[in-house]
Copies of this chain bind each other. A is one copy, B any other.
Amino acid sequence: MAASTLTEVARLAGVSPATASRVLNGSARKPGQDIADRVRQAADSLGYIPNAQAQGLAKSSSGLIGLIVHDIADPYFAAIARGVQEAAREQGRMVLLATTAGAPGDEKEAVAAFAARRADSIVIAGSRSSRTEDTDGNADLAAELDRYCRNGGQVAVVGHPVVGAAVSDGYHVVEVPNEELAASLASELSVSRAGDDFVIIGGPEGLFTSDDRIRGFQQGLAEAGRPPAEILRSSFNRAGGFEAGLTLAARIKASRPEAGGVGATGNIGGSKGLCIFAVNDVMAIGAAAALRSEGLRIPRDATIAGFDDIETLRDFRPALSTVHLPLEEIGRIATRSAAGSAAADGAAAPSPVTGRVTLRRSTETAS
């Protein structure tokens, strides 16, 4: 038994396919009550399920939203995905998922695949890159997005615009005030960690999110009359944070006075403490793990702050200072901005993303 079709339903109800279509799938014209009932009854006696592909073909729209993330199991993206999913549901659409590990080439593939499926809109999360090795991929991606938009597609990008993407209507960017927030964080830490040296653990140069946060942090330090922090670069994930954490651990151990044995109380006397800013939470967690694995304690031997306030932090100890970002909300906003283009443009501008510096135990003064 193959899935039953509209035609079969129509025949059973003794009406034309046109009429059946009108009653079963919202049309401007509403057939008479009695006929409608007959059709509806026929439909569910047959267990009719409309073929979305055929509907899509006929209407040239699909009820699909494409979502591009680096890694769906990363708590950062998972939270955004949850928001996207939720907003999609509100719109009566479904989410198509693509993971790309951040490679622009793969992202281009994903966009093409979404375009092939005639997705109504595409949400791209994950940091944009301007690294030279990504130049080609970025160009391809931009071209693909451009084509998609010209064909009526809607695109929302979280954070930074895609490098080289033409500004068309249908192309939306959800701005995240990374720089300002990082500056605020630096400013607050300059006060609470007045005696410390600062060091930044960043992602590879060219990753916008990372670069913005680094720039903001440095600026915040400067405004507080502090010298710029040293920057350690590694990959934009836990492993990268861990690696950088090991480097810092060695340095901390080397610089502290050879007081006693293992149990020595870290940072005493005149030596300055170290305050680490990792440009995202997973890197911060990685760094913290590295310090711990080297026998160092936070905030005793070093303090540390992250960025994003991913849900995982809730149960991470010591409680990690960070910048809270409404990740789920960001997903919703992106999804809505790529959908509500029907509404008035300027007026319907979705509320901007706001974050909040959130200081916790990991940067409290060691007792």
State whether B78 touches A115 (Cβ < 8 A).
Answer: no
Which A positions have Cβ atoms within 8 angstroms of B? 1-3, 47, 49-54, 56-57, 62, 67, 71-73, 75, 78-79, 81-82, 85, 94-99, 112-113, 115-118, 147, 150-152, 285, 288-289, 311-312, 314-317, 328
State whether A49 touches B112 (Cβ < 8 A).
Answer: yes
State whether A285 touches B315 (Cβ < 8 A).
Answer: yes
State whether A96 touches B94 (Cβ < 8 A).
Answer: yes
How many copies of the chain does the oligomer comprise?
2
Given A78-B78, A118-B53: A2 touches B99 (CB 8 Å cut-off):
no
State whether A72 touches B62 (Cβ < 8 A).
Answer: no
State whether B94 touches A49 (Cβ < 8 A).
Answer: no
- Since A52-B113, A73-B79 are in contact, a sample of 6 more A-B pairs with Cβ atoms closer than 8 Å, ordered by chain A residue number, is A85-B99, A94-B98, A285-B315, A289-B314, A312-B312, A315-B316
Bound complex: CA A47 to CA B116 (Å): 12
In the complex, chain B residues whose CB is within 8 Å of the CB of A54: 57
- Measured CB to CB, the closest approach of chain B to A74, in angstroms, equals 8
Q: Across the interface, name the chain B residue whose C-beta is closest to A83.
A: B73
State whether B96 touches A96 (Cβ < 8 A).
Answer: yes
Contact of A2 among B56, B73, B151 (CB under 8 A): B151
Bound complex: CA A168 to CA B25 (Å): 31
In the complex, chain B residues whose CB is within 8 Å of the CB of A315: 285, 288-289, 312, 316
State whether A62 touches B73 (Cβ < 8 A).
Answer: no
